[in-house]
């Protein structure tokens, strides 16, 4: 099957499932994000292993998923308040540090500084930003606004898909000026600008339609930030892949690559969007 056919088939299966999770929210959405965290961390650490490093892969994934589960239940106020404080002021960082340092001490052939840094770096790069996405979906627990956060997440992802698709297809047709050839030789300025335009317009239009209380000014600001920084996230992940000498982070999604390939933009923008929401909504 040709590359385009694989991309279309994967999208036809994945998009309806994604929309269901966006709109359903709650534990369904959280579990979906935790699955992405687990596979994304696995891909990140596998790329590091391809470079000859030895990160504490399974320990880091396990710790991240435990913290993610506790984070969701704390965010939705289904945990006792005192337990929440215990987890986030003491237990979570202690758990992360103990797992990684203990394994580093007992694992042979490890470079303590490099491999522990990679292990922690994977958690910071993949796990924590995606947990911000859970916080955005459950923002009704943080704010009393009239915004439908299921539609907000849907709009955010559609903007990213529009940005990626426009950058890919228009860049292939008219792209002549290379964006960052050292990191991603196929990306062009024409594609990047097209991605920005289509993604930003898509976000603003859908937000005005589905969440008018969010405001036009906020829509323009967030839409612009999304379409700029999701492309930066793509470039950063491309740099990681080039350094690890791999074409894709994995082959999990036929025609689309791996979890990091599909969610690199979301990883980069989620903390930024959450910060904007915390100060504006």
| Residue 262 lies in domain | 147-281
Average confidence (pLDDT) over 242-269:
83
Highest-confidence range of 55-59, 218-222, 234-238, by mean pLDDT? 218-222
For residues 224 and 250, membership in a common domain is answered with yes
- Both 110 and 229 in one domain: the answer is no
215 with 127, same domain?
no
Tell me: do 106 and 206 sit in the same domain: no
Residue 82, both tokens: 């005192």
For residue 72, count other CB atoms closer than 10 A to its CB.
Answer: 23
Could you tell me if residue 97 is inside a domain?
yes
- Asked, for residue 12, whether it belongs to a domain, the answer is no
- Residue 167 maps to a domain: yes
Residue that finishes a domain, picked among 106, 137, 168:
137
Per-residue model confidence (pLDDT) at position 162? 92
The pLDDT of 178-203, averaged and rounded, is 83
Residues 62 and 177 in one domain: no
Both 81 and 114 in one domain: the answer is yes
Does 229 lie in the same domain as 100?
no
Instruction: Give the orientation angle of helix 216-244 with respect to helix 189-210, to 10 degrees.
Output: 140
HSE-CB of 227 using CA atoms within 13 angstroms: 29
Lowest mean pLDDT among 3-12, 116-125, 170-179, 184-193: 3-12
Which of 144-148, 180-184, 194-198 has the highest average model confidence (pLDDT)?
194-198
In a domain? residue 21: no
- 123 and 31 assigned to the same domain: yes
pLDDT in tens, 41-50: 999 999 999 9
pLDDT at 270: 93
Residues 128 and 234 in one domain: no
> Is the confidence at residue 25, as pLDDT, over 80?
yes
Sign of the four-CA dihedral 17, 132, 274, 267: negative
CA angle 266, 235, 137 (to 5 degrees): 5
Q: What is the 8-class DSSP label of residue 140? A: G
Report yes or no on 281 lying in a domain.
Answer: yes
Angle at 59 between CA 51 and CA 54, to 5 degrees: 20
Q: Record the tokens describing residue 6, joined without a space.
A: 């694989």
Could you tell me if 125 and 151 lie in one domain?
no
Confidence of residue 56 (pLDDT cuts 50, 70, 90): confident
Looking at the DSSP bridge assignments, the partners of residue 32 are: none
Higher pLDDT, 84 or 181: 181
Indicate whether 280 and 163 sit together in one domain.
yes
Helix residue ranges per DSSP H, the chain: 3-24, 26-50, 57-75, 81-86, 92-106, 112-122, 128-137, 149-174, 189-210, 216-244, 259-280
Q: Are residues 170 and 245 in the same domain?
A: yes
Pairwise pLDDT comparison (262 vs 82), residue with the higher score? 262
Q: Could you tell me what percent of the chain has a pLDDT over 90?
A: 37
Q: Total domain count for the chain?
A: 2
């Amino acid at each position: 099957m040709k590359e385009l056919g694989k991309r279309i088939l994967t999208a036809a299966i994945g998009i309806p499932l994604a929309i269901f999770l966006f709109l359903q929210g709650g534990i369904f959405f959280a579990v979906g994000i935790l699955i992405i965290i687990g596979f994304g961390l696995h891909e990140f650490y596998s790329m590091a292993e391809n470079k000859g490093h030895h990160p504490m892969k399974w320990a880091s994934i396990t710790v991240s998923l435990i913290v993610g589960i506790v984070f969701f239940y704390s965010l939705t106020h289904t945990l006792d308040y005192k337990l929440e404080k215990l987890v986030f002021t003491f237990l979570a960082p202690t758990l992360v540090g103990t797992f990684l340092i203990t394994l580093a001490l007992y694992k042979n052939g490890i470079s303590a500084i490099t491999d522990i840094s990679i292990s922690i770096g994977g958690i910071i790069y993949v796990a924590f930003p995606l947990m911000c996405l859970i916080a955005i979906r459950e923002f009704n627990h943080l704010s009393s606004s009239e915004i439908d956060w299921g539609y907000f997440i849907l709009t955010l992802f559609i903007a990213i898909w529009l940005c990626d698709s426009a950058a890919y297809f228009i860049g292939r047709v008219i792209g002549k000026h290379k964006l960052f050839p050292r990191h991603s030789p196929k990306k062009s300025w024409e594609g990047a600008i097209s991605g920005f335009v289509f993604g930003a317009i898509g976000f603003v239009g859908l937000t005005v339609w589905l969440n008018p209380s969010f405001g036009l000014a906020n829509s323009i600001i967030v839409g612009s930030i999304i379409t700029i920084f999701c492309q930066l996230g793509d470039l950063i992940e491309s740099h990681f892949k080039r350094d690890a000498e791999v074409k894709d982070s994995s082959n999990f999604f036929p025609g689309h690559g791996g979890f990091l390939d599909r969610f690199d933009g979301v990883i980069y923008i989620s903390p930024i969007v959450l910060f904007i929401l915390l100060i504006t909504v």
